[in-house]
Amino acid sequence: MGQLPKAMLGFFILVLFLFTTMTVSYVSLCAYAAEAFSSDSATIIEEYNYSPSVMKELRMKGEDRGYDVDIKEYDTDNDGLTDMARVEVRYPVTLKLFGMEDERVALSWAR
């Protein structure tokens, strides 16, 4: 009879371990996807020479994915043309079972 409580405890610990691993993996995948979107957006902005229409399209693509995309343009040499841009992607991380909701930021620069 002493084996049943030990088996139940072992099963509980295994389920807890699996749930924790899945949660950490989910948060990690969310962060990876947002970082990749931010980095790819910065590369696209550079390739299209800081085009306002491209930046608008990237903001819309981000909204479709559930991101809040903020692109700030900079003119570093005061010639009236954009030389640099900061791409800031805010993305939500939710753990429904724990009732936790957080917002993270992925940041990239187009130079």
Residue 53 lies in a domain: yes
Number of domains in the chain: 1
Strands of 13-80, DSSP E: 68-74
What is the C-alpha separation between 43 and 13, in angstroms, rounded? 45
Domain with 66, as residue range(s), is 31-110
The answer to whether residue 13 sits within a structural domain is no
Domain annotation covers residue 16? no
pTM for the whole thing? 0.83
Beta bridge pairs of residue 92? 103
Q: What is the pLDDT along the chain (111 residues), one digit of tens a residue?
A: 678 888 899 999 999 899 888 888 888 999 999 999 999 999 999 999 999 999 999 999 999 999 999 999 999 888 988 989 999 999 998 877 777 889 999 999 998
In a domain, 24, yes or no: no
91 in a structural domain:
yes
